[in-house]
Structure 1
């Protein structure tokens, strides 16, 4: 029995395997509304055979978008635009569809990556960004506005409203984005958070607002559906957020019944020095799992089936999340199942694609033709 293809239950959500399609920003929405691109992109990934598909970082308010092309879920129009995309997926796939809820903080108002990815000044059509402290992400940029009491309430209410909209859409689970240098990570990291109130200073204070956001989102989402959190395990900068801080944060989330911790790293500072390599972030997921017992998702240059099998089989993480590898090969899970001697779900329209030597890849199916 392949460990990667062992079922796993998260509250009422029953997953057939441990493969997750990571949330991957597409920068292809219009006014936050999903477009035909999302129908094509998410549609093909929904047929991948993975256990769970996570919709890209979805902004909870317009000012929380990374770029003007970010997907959003903050009003009736953005909610309505996602409905046909989800309906199409549900018609042809039983994959679990979850969503990452996010706010970019001081990294908002940026150009799309293929347009340079830099901050868009207000004079050029950008918008003022918000952060824990008035510290720019990059030297020379316009400083963000430090969130005041009213701003903290506004953003929290936005997460709650988006969680409720996700529930109305029938989303199977949500992931609160507290990684990659975006707003909640900015509160966690001493590099971005230099507040002197109850939300800054000590580790306990810096964790306070992200924990409040999680609690509010958890309360707003159906109790039988899971809510996880993505974290950056380290800032890769001296004096920044560390794996020890991450473990402390995960322990607090565990007290609040978090369903998974999705362990990534970096993003809060352009001064980061990341050591890349296959599975380079897996030890962080392992550290969180071993220290807290929380269900973890490992990410980061996981590209080969045997590599993913070893991660799950050795207990380093409960799931592996595939991102670029899934874009390059949307049938990655099929090929992993073939290599590991497992079965995978596929739509009947594709059953005859099964190679003769892999006659049981799709399970006990029959394809007849006159």
Structure 2
């Protein structure tokens, strides 16, 4: 659906304080909805209320709870209450004013008819097992730019350590080399077992595992570090045997024909790869988006003006973060450049998968 022209909606933006919501909001929102808003600690995602005042200015005709991951280019409507169309247009105007790429809407209290009427399109339901998925069953997105980014399936990792395997599986499903219905825990753990450096997947091992699983897929590893990586948190004796495994992965890369490029992969090069129809598995730190410096794999699969669109297989449920945040997630180039500079050495690791 092409972007719609936003209506001019007068609105107010105020922080959301769970313990002391504004009086106009308390009169507008249903108790059950307000309790769900309070159930998570959303403080890291800048929760705020976008409200539409009534004519007298003393009360609100509509309001929406809005959040977003830091250092990203979207807003998420958790719920809209009151005059819902006016609340949603106020959020869209707010997002446009900030130069953002999209607005998402969690499907807790909105159905497809109302979402479509507001200019949103449905997101494909996640492939994650129901007991693992969390969040709403449905979600919607309204793009605020021209052009379209094709939608991969969303699958959330079911362990703390299988992000690399999941990003590779989602990339191959997106490319049509893997049936979407085969995205499941068995596939996740099987590919992780072949790629792991116990428990993480380092770039070379992940690239080799992808090539072994899909021999027709061109794979290139980018790693601007000439030593074993992702080992600094381990004691010396545990670093040693993991380093042996990484050296073995490098030798295996030579045997199966996976090139290892030691140049630093730039944001321009990532955009160029995506423009050629390639997909980029990128190693990032979660410090910017989630507040803790943990290495993590995401899939870069599309671009919009000023941002790269990623799939993140991990969500922080305790912060109110759901698959709606992590799916089709636009991240500004500068933010992604910072996230993918991995401490302590400042290296960058990536695996690029080309068309067959």
Q: TM-score, length-normalised on structure 1?
A: 0.28
Give the greater-gyration-radius structure (CA).
2
Q: Which structure dedicates a bigger proportion of its chain to strand?
A: 2
